[in-house]
A = this chain, B = another copy of it.
Amino acid sequence: MNLGRGVSLVGGATTKFGVRAATWAEIAQEAGEALFRSMPTLTSADVDSLFVGAAEPERFAFQSHVAPFVAEQLGLAPRRVVQRTELACASGQSAIRSAYAAIASGLSDVAVAVGVEKMNIPSMAEANTSMACVMDRAWDGAHGATAPPFFAMVAQRHMLEYGTTEEAFAAVSEKNHTYANSNPNAQFAEKTFDRAKLGRLPVVAPPLRLGDCSSMTDGGAAVVLVAEELASKYTDRPVHVRGTGQYADFHNLANAGSLTDWVGLKHASREAFRSAGIGPSDLDFAEVHDCFTISEIVEYEAIGLCEPGEGGKFVLDGRSSIGGDVAVNTRGGLLGCGHPLGATGIAQAVEVFDQFAGRVPSARQVPSPEWALVHNLSGSANVHSVMIYQGAS
């Protein structure tokens, strides 16, 4: 780590997330337009590289070879480095890590990372079936072991081992949906969910109810990363990449270890903390992958924000809210914003930039932050990607 030069995040923007009357290509274009509009000093000629995070455009949109495709949609052709990264639900942060490595190693100076997914398609049966190929198709996907049943098993096991309650799950959902109310680009920006209402929603996979699950969402997001010495051209509030870690564990569910002890996330976050030279208690805010409410609870524990088994109490006590130990998922999380697979990791980084820039609505602004962590996972929580950012002091 840190053998190459420093890398900074200097801007970002997202499209509206939701069920969009727009094609995959139009969403990509909209993300690019939002990015350039938000960064008056960025010209297309400055950008030498494009990294596209997308999980399944081949299935959702019958479009492969998406990197040069998006380059053209954004007016970014020709370019030196153009590449798409696929890591299922973590494709977005995978694109950011690729941009980081390209800049640190000298392949690139100014890189745009774009995440796009269009999941609401004419045949939702086709869309849902396509989600099964994220798993081992023959052993798990074909038998229906997609995300909701897997995370429901995690929830059941956490309840059994630690006495975690459905109220704790609802507290995660309530918190993240409340923050989403101050994010106009969130899928559920207009909707309110209190714990009582959440407890009356239909069960998807017991004990998880509709409000415990992120949704099938259309959306795009884009960020710019540059060599640290170039950052001042684009912003007076650069955010610096200080650490990163990633860990891939099992893939076939038969090879999974403990459902509630996410070893991969422990390794990824420890590597990220070590490279940044800080610990969990230094964090001011975090974007973590709340694809389901139980995920956020297990993540508190694996990242080291609280002890094993105490994740439910952590959220119920308000320690993951603004004003608590560490503000988690202030943009509204995957629960409030929706989860357009490849766009999520990029949108998390946009929130990091906006928080440090002090440009989010006051209802979700973290006061004077210095350190932030972003966690993006994929599949059955079998791959974990973590980045640590430091704002300009």
Interface residue? A372 (CB, 8 A): no
CB distance from A113 to the nearest CB of B (A): 13
Within 8 A of B (CB), among A53-74: 55-56, 58-59, 61-69, 71-72
CB distance from A230 to the nearest CB of B (A): 13
Which of A100-108, A202-210, A303-311 is the interface stretch? A100-108
| Complex alpha-carbon distance, A71 and B248, angstroms | 8
Using Cβ atoms and an 8 Å threshold, which residues of chain B touch A250? 68, 72, 77-78
Using Cβ atoms and an 8 Å threshold, which residues of chain B touch A138? 25
Using Cβ atoms and an 8 Å threshold, which residues of chain B touch A379? 65, 68
Number of interface residues of A (CB under 8 A): 70
| Complex alpha-carbon distance, A198 and B104, angstroms | 49
Interface residue? A83 (CB, 8 A): yes
| Complex alpha-carbon distance, A82 and B382, angstroms | 11
Using Cβ atoms and an 8 Å threshold, which residues of chain B touch A264? 78
The answer to whether B251 and A80 touch across the interface, beta carbons within 8 angstroms, is no
Which of A37-45, A84-92, A290-298, A331-339 is the interface stretch? A84-92
The answer to whether A251 and B68 touch across the interface, beta carbons within 8 angstroms, is yes
Also in contact, A86 and B87, with CB within 8 A (given A97-B107, A106-B4): no
Also in contact, A80 and B247, with CB within 8 A (given A4-B105, A104-B106, A107-B1): yes
The answer to whether A71 and B251 touch across the interface, beta carbons within 8 angstroms, is yes
The answer to whether A248 and B78 touch across the interface, beta carbons within 8 angstroms, is yes
Also in contact, A77 and B248, with CB within 8 A (given A82-B383, A83-B85): yes
Using Cβ atoms and an 8 Å threshold, which residues of chain B touch A105? 3-4, 100-101, 104-105
Q: Is the interface of A mostly helix, strand, loop or mixed?
A: mixed
- Residue of B2, B72, B101, B383 near A252 (CB, 8 A) is B72
The answer to whether A58 and B61 touch across the interface, beta carbons within 8 angstroms, is no
Interface residue? A81 (CB, 8 A): yes
Which of A8-16, A128-136, A232-240 is the interface stretch? A128-136
Interface residue? A33 (CB, 8 A): no
Within 8 A of B (CB), among A1-53: 1-5, 25, 50
Chain B residue with Cβ nearest A106? B3
Interface residue? A329 (CB, 8 A): no
The answer to whether A82 and B246 touch across the interface, beta carbons within 8 angstroms, is yes
Using Cβ atoms and an 8 Å threshold, which residues of chain B touch A78? 247-250, 263-264, 267
Using Cβ atoms and an 8 Å threshold, which residues of chain B touch A383? 67-68, 82
Interface residue? A255 (CB, 8 A): yes
| Complex alpha-carbon distance, A147 and B3, angstroms | 41
Interface residue? A215 (CB, 8 A): no
Interface residue? A120 (CB, 8 A): no
The answer to whether A58 and B245 touch across the interface, beta carbons within 8 angstroms, is no
The answer to whether B72 and A64 touch across the interface, beta carbons within 8 angstroms, is no
Also in contact, A85 and B85, with CB within 8 A (given A72-B250, A105-B105): yes
Interface residue? A98 (CB, 8 A): yes
Interface residue? A214 (CB, 8 A): no
The answer to whether B136 and A79 touch across the interface, beta carbons within 8 angstroms, is no
Chain B residue with Cβ nearest A341? B64
Question: Which of A88, A134, A137, A141 has its CB near the most chain B CB atoms (within 10 A)?
Answer: A137
The answer to whether B94 and A87 touch across the interface, beta carbons within 8 angstroms, is no
A-B contact list, 10 entries, CB within 8 Å: A4-B104, A50-B248, A55-B64, A62-B141, A63-B137, A68-B383, A72-B250, A72-B251, A77-B255, A101-B107
